[in-house]
Amino acid sequence: MYIPRKMDVASVVQKKSCFLFGPRQCGKSSLVRETMPDAHVFDLLSSDTFAHLARNSNYIAETCRDTRPIVIDEIQKMPSLLDEVHRLIETKGKKFLLTGSSARKLRRGGVNLLGGRARIRNLHPFSAIELGNAFDLDKAINYGLLPGIWNSDEPEEDLAGYVTLYLEQEIAQEGATRNLPAFSRFLEIAALSSSEQINYQSIAVDAQIPRSTVQEYFKILKDTLLAREVPVWRKGRSRKTVETAKFYLFDTGVTRRLQGRKNLSPGTPEYGHAFESWILHELATCADTVHQDTEIAYWRTRTNLEVDFVVNGEVAIKAKATRNATKNDLRGLRAIGDEATFRHRILVSNEPRPREVDGIEILPWRNFIARLWNGELF
């Protein structure tokens, strides 16, 4: 059963051609199939389609003579096609939707992503708002929100398959690295560091690879949209902050599987880290779907006062999977209030009811998700 997504890519393509990027199996093909049923579709995973286009670059122009939009799925499989796409946009006014799991291979091939002739949108795994009443927090924490995993009757097995598929197809086939065993070791160590400050040297030692290789591997994760780097917010009035960005893998289920952990239980530190990662997923998904150009940072002082997310310098958010927030949980939010004026300071929690303490909103996560997607926060 198809679950409608918040991303309205069909409306974007009506105005201007668009790249739609997203991790493998996040639902790009289903979104196109359900929301753009009349489009011309060229799937480069099809060997016949790939062969036709490889032999004849005019094949698209010859078969798409009407005004319907043109979809090229997995465009990174044939970056040279973008020259023809460019020509058809300029000379025929064609509108394209170009999907792919990353822009990495396109950039490596010297492609300039059409020089501003196409917008860029990122599709994420499911959001809680898309799943509605079917959303289950413990399930999301443990198995993540990739559509195929969420709907699976064997999610653990399918998570294992997803990791293997990523290594074999995204990394090996596209030649991102020649040392797949080293990258596999790095992935396991990086997963254990998810939601923490990046320490390249420590990861290099644990994974038995050079620091420069670790930096390149992190770039691969970001380019393939499997990780997000959250920079430090430095615009406070007085307190000195740390200098190092934080790093999050894109999906809590994939993260847990890479970490080699069994099911995470509420009340454990691991569950808390996953809860924080899920809140970032919701923030990033809402930002990339609705707002665009949203800045998400974090704040941490050298005395370890911390706020997990600072959005556009206006909203300070702490994620804490507790059912009973204490004064200690509010220390970072109190302190950042002395550094700047914020529209909202929020502790997202597992408490049953919303309440307010000294100007800090303590919100159950369901209330936070509703307000986030209703546009009440930023």
Q: Are 213 and 187 in contact (CB under 8 A)?
A: no
Angle at 165 between CA 2 and CA 264, to 5 degrees: 75
The superfamily (CATH) of domain 9-122 is P-loop containing nucleotide triphosphate hydrolases (3.40.50.300)
104, 278, 188, 169 alpha-carbon torsion, rounded to 10°? -40
pLDDT of residue 101: 82
CATH 3.40.50.300 residue ranges for the chain: 9-122
Stretches in the chain below the pLDDT threshold 70: 105, 107-112, 167-170, 172-177
pLDDT of residue 165: 79
**SS in 3 state form for the chain?**
CCCCCCCCHHHHHHHCEEEEECCCCCCHHHHHHHHCCCCEEEECCCHHHHHHHHHCCCHHHHHCCCCCCEEEECHHHCCCHHHHHHHHHHHHCCCEEEEECCCHHHHHCCCCHHHHCEEEEECCCCCHHHHHHHCCHHHHHHHCCCHHHHCCCCHHHHHHHHHHHHHHHHHHHCCCCCCHHHHHHHHHHHHHCCCEECCHHHHHHHHCCCHHHHHHHHHHHHHCCCEEEECECCCCCCCCECCCCEEEECCHHHHHHHHCCCCCCCCCHHHHHHHHHHHHHHHHHHHHHHHCCCCEEEEEECCCCEEEEEECCCEEEEECCCCCCCHHHHHHHHHHCCCCCCCEEEEEECCCCCEEECCEEEEEHHHHHHHHHCCCCC
CA–CA dist 17, 31 (Å, integer): 16
